[in-house]
Homo-oligomer: A and B are copies of this chain.
Amino acid sequence: MKLHQLKYVHEVARQGLSVSAAAETLHTSQPGVSKQIQLFEEELNLQIFQRNGKRLTGITMPGQIILKLAANVMFELDNIKRVGDEFSKVESGTLTIATTHTQARYKLPAAIQQFMLAYPQVKLNLHQGNPTQVTDWVATGEADIGIATESIGQEPRLVCLPCYEWNRSLVVPKGHPLTQAPLLSLQDFAHYPLITYDFAFTGSTTVSKVFHDAGVTPNVVLTAIDADVIKTYVNLGLGIGLIASMAFDEKRDESLVRLDCSHLFPQSTTYLGMRKDTFMRGYLYDFISMLSPQFNRSAIDEVFKITR
């Protein structure tokens, strides 16, 4: 069994069962890839790919399993390489962060700026997506850490650190009747068209549950993936917006008024997730500390010790 064979098989699957495409991205020849896959299948005494004559048409059941295991092995090998970089004091490399819009736009910038100054040699990648994608990217190793709310805690391959708590605010145009209300109630929501996050987003399930339990049916006229879009539409007078409090910027959003809702909804927690088997490079610890100062190196190690 050769490492190349694992890579080849993995890449062929990733390229949608195309040997030629895989050979391309692997900077090698098609026949080479073809041959090695055959040898590999021969050694294991099974077919990984279904073939129709000379065309690859699917992945067999054992193939599925093998691909998964192969991905694991390659991840571990990456870990080994990282140990090398780490201890040779070359504090360079890549840090890929998967996160949602709100985090990327309002919470991460401070930590990222600080990090880039401390580690100018480290290349930063931001993968932006919805919480499910974030979880997935981290689980498959495409991203080093993921930052999102709730759903990231479900994936058993990940370790989760609670980063910070947050709640929601209502944003309305200046002079809106609700700005006169003494204390906002859930019932107030029903009287105005509501604009809020996509329901694929976590937090939203929390929100919808609160409304449901209170017997209030909000009139959701528009859902968006990010707070900036929501605020834009609120500005246009199309409704009132329910967003994460941190997504309100006193200066930039001076045409809007923020009404705190923390008495109406339970707090949500933003988690930071990593694969349990990630090798913790020095700058990973530091990044986490910058984002969430209560986690120093030993606190993080402690969490890993408990979970994995």
Contact surface of A with B, Cβ cutoff 8 Å: 1-3, 43-46, 61-62, 65-66, 69-70, 72-73, 76-77, 79-81, 83-88, 90, 156-157, 277, 279, 306-308
Copies in the complex: 2
Knowing A46-B84, A80-B44, A88-B45, the reply to whether A157 touches B69 (Cβ < 8 A) is: no
27 A-B contacts (beta carbon < 8 Å): A1-B3, A1-B81, A3-B3, A44-B80, A44-B81, A44-B83, A44-B84, A44-B88, A45-B85, A45-B87, A45-B90, A46-B87, A61-B87, A65-B83, A66-B83, A69-B76, A69-B79, A69-B80, A69-B83, A69-B279, A70-B80, A72-B76, A73-B73, A73-B80, A156-B307, A156-B308, A157-B308
| Closest A-B pairs by Cβ, 5 of them | A44-B84, A45-B88, A62-B87, A73-B76, A46-B87
Q: Determine whether the beta carbon of B1 is less than 8 Å from that of A65.
A: no
Q: Which B residues are CB-close (under 8 A) to A62?
A: 83-84, 86-87
Name the residue of chain B whose CB is nearest to the CB of A71: B76
**Shortest Cβ distance from residue A7 to the other chain B in the assembled complex, whole angstroms:** 11
Q: Which B residues are CB-close (under 8 A) to A2?
A: 3
